[in-house]
Amino acid sequence: MASFHDRIPSNMWRVVFYERRGNRVHMDRTGPWLPEKTHARQWADWFREQGYHVALQDQNGGLEKLHVGLPG
């Protein structure tokens, strides 16, 4: 039987939401951690279609910008 640690994903991803306030961009909130980047990307794409400014963040804090002009 596999141990608990063998079932923990090595890298988690989440959607990060940004909000523009005047000339500044603020990280507004984050979504839940997801075990697969493709799943997080699907959610990010859906939120982009709804008009949100989003990025993907990995568990190490790295950001993948999905909009030009976002910090990261």
Which amino acid does the sequence have at 30?
Answer: T
pLDDT tens digit sequence for 6-59: 555 568 999 998 877 777 766 778 899 999 999 999 999 999 999 888 899 999
Nearest to 72 by CA among 8, 19, 63: 63
Dihedral sign of CA atoms 31, 35, 38, 39 in order: negative
Per-residue confidence at 3, pLDDT binned at 50, 70, 90?
A: low
The pLDDT value given to residue 10: 64
pTM for this prediction: 0.72
Q: Is 63:56 a contact under the CB 8 Å cutoff?
A: yes
The pLDDT value given to residue 8: 52
The pLDDT value given to residue 63: 84
Domain range summary for the chain, segments of one domain joined by +:
4-65
Report how far residue 38's alpha carbon sits from residue 9's, in angstroms, rounded to the nearest whole number.
14
